[in-house]
């Protein structure tokens, strides 16, 4: 499948990031199994624990709108390099299955993994 549109949506979302402390913008675009796309950007806070990552923003938008079946998520950053999700995001995403495809790009190449590959022994209680 061609994920270039998903990457483009993630890059667009990255422009809305609020990164006054790190200046490290991240954008995510989450594709549901029905074909709808939800985007997210990272939003920092002076109380660093209140910061929320782009991936979780996209997921919470989708879930709050009733979508809970996901195919893929594209993640990009202002670094210009591959940007992988933090541990909290990996665990958060695993709640909806570890077959989710994660798409990364560095301006030249695209890498695709399943969440299971990036979190092989996720804590899943269901």
At 3-14, the pLDDT tens digits run: 999 999 999 999
More confident residue, 121 or 44: 44
% of the chain residues with pLDDT over 70: 98
9-34: pLDDT as tens digits: 999 999 999 999 999 999 999 999 99
CATH tag for 4-118 (out of 3.30.110.30, 3.40.140.10, 3.40.50.450, 3.40.630.30): 3.40.140.10
102-113: pLDDT as tens digits: 999 999 999 999
At residue 13, the pLDDT reads 98
Please tell me the pTM assigned to this model: 0.95
Whole-number Cα distances in Å, 32 to 6, 16, 45, 126:
11, 22, 29, 21
- What single DSSP character describes residue 52? B
Active-site position among 12, 44, 55, 95: 55
The verdict on whether 55 is a catalytic residue reads yes
């Amino acid at each position: 499948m061609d994920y270039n549109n998903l990457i483009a949506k993630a890059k667009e979302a990255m422009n809305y990031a609020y990164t006054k402390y790190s200046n490290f913008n991240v954008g995510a675009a989450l594709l549901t199994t029905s074909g709808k796309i939800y985007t997210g950007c990272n939003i920092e806070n002076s109380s660093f624990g209140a910061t929320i990552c782009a991936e979780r923003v996209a997921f919470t938008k989708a879930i709050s709108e009733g979508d809970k079946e996901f195919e893929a998520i594209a993640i990009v950053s202002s670094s210009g390099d591959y940007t992988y999700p933090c541990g909290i995001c990996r665990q958060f995403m695993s709640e909806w299955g570890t077959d989710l495809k994660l798409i990364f790009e560095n301006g030249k190449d695209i890498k695709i993994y399943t969440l299971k590959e990036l979190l092989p022994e996720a804590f899943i209680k269901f």
